[in-house]
């Protein structure tokens, strides 16, 4: 993810709605792959057995651009800096704040991370390749050079491009993504992947994303528990 210059603000609305009661104007733009600065920064392959067949009973409807991005940013902003899953280097915070029937993964605040993560069976997975929140103009500039890819078990995954989308984010004080706690209305954008529940067993996932000089590299070893 990427963070940046002054603007209206941006990760999982339902997770922390009860924790934040005030509405604030947005701080610097932030990106979801994983970095933050004060200048306006932003934050796969699947084997046949890794995902359910199209149209199978286990296939799930995908979240809308607003719901997905609002919920993800709320999730990311629901933990303080020293225990935030976006800052996590090895995956020990992978389960932090997970809720709402979908399992979120994070990139980083820039640079490379290698994580091991246990994912419950039967739960869809979603993550950004690279993302940001802020004003519409920030998103337009960010998305102009946004690139990314994801590979699950050696096979490329399809990603979705979301340009500036109105979202609401709930954040806690001390999180590394926003300038304080509360409910924030902002514009979010990025390249996103939504997966149906992976099959039980071990999987490898590589996430790559960039926009301008900002770049994210996250490698996951996913262990999906048996149902």
Q: Give residue-wise pLDDT tens across range 122-139.
A: 999 999 999 999 999 999
Q: How confident is the model at residue 148 (pLDDT cuts 50, 70, 90)?
A: very high
H or E stretch at 192: strand 182-195
Give the model's pLDDT for residue 5: 34
In Å, what is the CA distance from 6 to each residue of 12, 27, 121, 129, 164? 22, 5, 40, 23, 16
Planar angle of CA 104, 202, 44, nearest 5 degrees: 55
Structure tokens at 29: 């733009």
Give the model's pLDDT for residue 56: 37
Q: Would you list the domain boundaries of the chain?
A: 23-54+63-224
pLDDT digits 0-9 by tens, 42-100: 443 332 334 443 333 345 689 999 999 999 999 999 999 999 999 999 999 999 999 87
Give the model's pLDDT for residue 216: 95
Give the model's pLDDT for residue 145: 98
Give the model's pLDDT for residue 30: 54
Give the model's pLDDT for residue 48: 30
Give the model's pLDDT for residue 27: 43
- Name the most confidently modeled range: 5-14, 57-66, 142-151: 142-151
> DSSP of 29-72, one letter per residue?
-BBSSS---SS--------TTTSPPTT-TT--PPPPHHHHHHHH
In this predicted structure, the answer to whether residue 219 has a pLDDT above a threshold of 90 is yes
Structure tokens at 91: 């995956």
1 versus 190: the higher-pLDDT residue is 190
């Amino acid at each position: 993810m990427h963070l940046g210059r002054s603007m209206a603000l941006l990760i999982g609305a339902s997770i922390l709605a009860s924790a934040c009661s005030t509405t604030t104007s947005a701080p610097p733009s932030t990106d979801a792959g994983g970095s933050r600065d004060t200048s306006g920064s932003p934050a796969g392959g699947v084997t046949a057995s890794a995902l359910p067949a199209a149209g199978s009973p286990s296939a799930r409807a995908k979240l809308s651009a607003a719901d997905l991005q609002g919920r993800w940013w709320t999730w990311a902003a629901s933990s303080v800096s020293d225990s935030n899953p976006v800052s996590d280097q090895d995956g020990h915070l992978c389960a932090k704040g997970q809720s709402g029937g979908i399992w979120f993964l994070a990139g980083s605040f820039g640079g490379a991370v290698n994580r091991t993560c246990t994912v419950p069976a039967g739960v869809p997975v979603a993550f950004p390749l690279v993302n940001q929140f802020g004003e519409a103009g920030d998103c337009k500039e960010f998305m102009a050079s946004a690139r990314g890819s994801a590979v699950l078990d050696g096979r490329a995954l399809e990603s979705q491009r979301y340009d500036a989308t109105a979202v609401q984010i709930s954040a806690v004080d001390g999180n590394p993504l926003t300038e304080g706690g509360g409910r924030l209305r902002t514009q979010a954008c990025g390249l996103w992947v939504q997966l149906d529940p992976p099959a039980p067993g071990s999987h490898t996932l590589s996430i790559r994303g960039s926009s301008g000089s900002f770049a994210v590299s996250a490698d996951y070893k996913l262990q999906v528990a048996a149902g």
